[in-house]
Amino acid sequence: MKKTKMSADSGKAGILSFVHAADLHLDSPFTEISGIDPELGERLAKATFQSYEAIIELCIEEKVDFLLIAGDVYDSADKSLYAQVRFIEGLRKLEIAGIQVFICHGNHDPLEGWSASLTWPENVHIMSGDRAEVVKFKKDRENAAVIVGMSYPTRHIMKNLVKNFPKKEGNWPFTIGLLHCSVGSNPEHDPYAPCTLQDLRELNYDYWALGHIHTPSIVCKEAPIVIYPGNPQGRHFSENGARGCFVVDVSLGRDSSGRDISTRFIETDSVRWYIREISIEGLEKEGELIESLQSQLDEMRENSVGRSVICRFVLKGRGPLHHILRQEGFIEDLLRLLREGETWGRQFIWVERIEDDTLFPIEREILLKREDFVGDLVKIVEGLKTDENSRNEFHEVLSPLFGSRNGRKHISKIDDDEMNSLLQRAENILLDALLTEKDNEN
Ligand SMILES: [Mn+2]
């Protein structure tokens, strides 16, 4: 097995420190946003690069020893020339700062794809695609870490690559596995290089720096620590919420028993995606709806601390505003209003769309007067809610349920408030099934 050695004499004294990032998808197209303002398009085109720059800055600020990138640096096997040049620019900055970089390639950027012939800085180590490579990292002339990694030679790797990784040897210091793979089953992602947590555990490593799953997650908190940092920049509404990478600090002891490992998630996205559901129930006037949307926008602005936001509102529930929302041009006007004053400066909030999933309000007063099945249903529920005799009879009917041995175990007495709310919910379900918008008009 070929062993490469890399070393650094910079970084924090007594601590092994590194940044773990993955799935940069540089130069990724933002497909869900169509027909947008060209300026917004330009801001989005830069977003994956800005988050990459944020990672580079973080490495320098934190004075880490190395940066790990667990695959999918680029979005497609035939990487754009622009993305490659910008990627190398960032790596050069790290070279100047004395920070090493270890990269393994994944399904979006396998080794077989086209690459421009550019000169890689000397601080960069790209893992081989033939075998798991073992790289020793020295700090202050001492062995401080071992990084074992493997790249995808071709895109469709459906076999378990962990089987190629060697077991941690007795004299190895802090050992890291670097791989783009799918741990366990995750129906949202293609099962590239599938493996189990047990496969990872068996090798006795200290940390698994994984890539592929775009939602940040700590798969395992205890040794071995297994982390998916997720992609550092969301690219569509299904990649919503905060995105970033991990900073890991390891105290360097003689043996692993007294070792202290801390992991921190650092947000690196420059544009954040949000989907917000808002219920129109209880809203009587248009003004109330506008206020509610505005206050959501204010909250997002605050939570995203200086970042830009693209958000989608989904309006739900039953209420009188349903009819107004259906009026031609109303939602377009609402959008215009919410977008007003937004410029493509450092921080913007762009409402991409307002979806109307609302339902017509049910006019109960009118239904009560109807001489048909629906009218009877509403009258019965009304009786049970307001008339004491009817309610007592109803409790009588229900009593075997509470009196039986099994019933007693699982349900306790229902008080009047709870009963009323249950009855109302039952009525809503039945009316939803029985009524159409036309039925509800008198
Ligand atoms: Mn990916």
Mean pLDDT of 73-95: 90
190 pLDDT more than 90: no
Asked whether residue 293 carries a pLDDT value surpassing 60, the answer given is yes
Q: How far is the CA of 214 from the centre of ligand 1 (A)?
A: 6
Together in a domain, 413 and 306:
no
Mean pLDDT of 426-437: 82
Please tell me the predicted confidence (pLDDT) of residue 2.
Answer: 45
> Who has greater pLDDT, 301 or 114?
301
Mean pLDDT of the chain: 88
User: What spatial distance separates the first Cα and last Cα of the chain, rounded to whole Å?
Assistant: 83
Say if 441 falls within a structural domain: no
Q: Say how many Å lie between the CA of residue 201 and the centre of ligand 1.
A: 23
Q: How remote is the CA of residue 423 from the centroid of ligand 1, in Å?
A: 48
Please tell me whether residues 385 and 347 are part of one structural domain.
no
Residues 114 and 196 in one domain: yes
Residue 257 is predicted with a pLDDT of 64
Domain closes at, from 212, 238, 269: 269
User: Radius of gyration of the chain from Cα atoms?
Assistant: 29
Phi, psi of 56 (to 5 degrees): -60, -45
For residue 74, report the distance from its CA to the centre of ligand 1, in Å: 9
For residue 146, being part of any structural domain is answered with yes
The answer to whether residues 380 and 301 belong to one domain is no
pLDDT for 340 equals 87
Residue finishing a domain among 236, 269, 302 = 269
C-alpha span between 137 and 3 (Å, rounded): 11
**pLDDT score at 6:** 66
Do 414 and 332 share a structural domain? Answer: no
Residue 303 Cα to ligand 1 middle (Å): 26
Residue 439 confidence (pLDDT) above 70? no
Ligand 1 center–CA 53 separation, angstroms: 18
Identify whether residues 168 and 219 lie together within a single domain. yes
Kind of pairing, strands 225-228 and 217-220? Answer: antiparallel
User: What residues make up the domain containing 351?
Assistant: 272-356
199 and 338 in a single domain? The answer is no
Distance from C-alpha of 205 to C-alpha of 401, rounded to nearest angstrom: 56
Confidence of residue 332 (pLDDT cuts 50, 70, 90): very high
| pLDDT tens digits for range 151-175 | 988 888 888 999 999 999 999 999 9
Instruction: Output the CA 389–ligand 1 centroid distance in Å.
Output: 64
pLDDT confidence of residue 254: 58
Note whether 157 and 258 are same-domain residues. Answer: yes
pLDDT-above-90 percentage for the chain: 58
Q: What would the 3-class secondary structure string for the chain be?
A: CCEEEEEECCCCCCEEEEEEECCCCECCCCCCCCCCCHHHHHHHHHHHHHHHHHHHHHHHHCCCCEEEEECCCECCCCCCHHHHHHHHHHHHHHHHCCCEEEEECCCCCCCCCCCCCCCCCCCEEECCCCCCEEEEEEECCEEEEEEEECCCCCCCCCCCHHHHCCCCCCCCCEEEEEEECEECCCCCCCCCCEECHHHHHCCCCCEEEEECCCCCEEEECCCCEEEECCCCCCCCHHHCCCCEEEEEEEECCCCCCCCCEEEEEEECCCEEEEEEEEECCCCCCHHHHHHHHHHHHHHHHHHCCCCEEEEEEEEECECCHHHHHHCCCHHHHHHHHHHCCCCCCCCCEEEEEEEECCECCCCHHHHHCCCCHHHHHHHHHHHHHHCHHHHHHHHHHHHHHHHCHHHHHHCCCCCHHHHHHHHHHHHHHHHHHHCCCCCCCC
- For the cut 90, the answer to whether the pLDDT of residue 67 exceeds it is yes
- Mark whether 149 and 287 lie in a shared domain: no
> What integer pLDDT is reported at residue 28 of this predicted model?
85
Tally of domains within the chain: 3
Tell me how far the alpha carbon of residue 399 lies from the centroid of ligand 1, in angstroms.
57
**For residue 244, which phi and psi values (nearest 5 degrees)?**
-175, -150
Q: Is 223 inside any structural domain?
A: yes
- Its sign, for the CA torsion 234, 239, 241, 243, is negative
pTM for the whole thing?
Answer: 0.81
Region 136-152: mean pLDDT is: 92
Q: What is the pLDDT of residue 131?
A: 92
pLDDT, tens digit, 9 for 90 and up, residues 354-396? 999 998 888 888 889 999 999 999 999 999 999 999 989 998 8
Q: Is the pLDDT of residue 270 over 90?
A: yes
Which two tokens mark 407? 């019933």
Mark which of 204, 235, 269 sits at the end of a domain. Answer: 269
- 255 and 277, same domain (yes or no): no
| Ligand 1 center to 333 CA (angstroms) | 38
Min mean pLDDT across 32-46, 126-140, 258-272, 311-325 is at 32-46
Answer yes or no: do 141 and 105 share one domain. yes
Cα 125 to ligand 1 centre (Å):
20
The residues with which 182 forms a beta bridge, in sequence order, are 194
Residue 440 lies in a domain: no
- Asked if residue 102 and residue 46 are part of one domain, the reply reads yes
CA of 207 to the centre of ligand 1 (A): 20
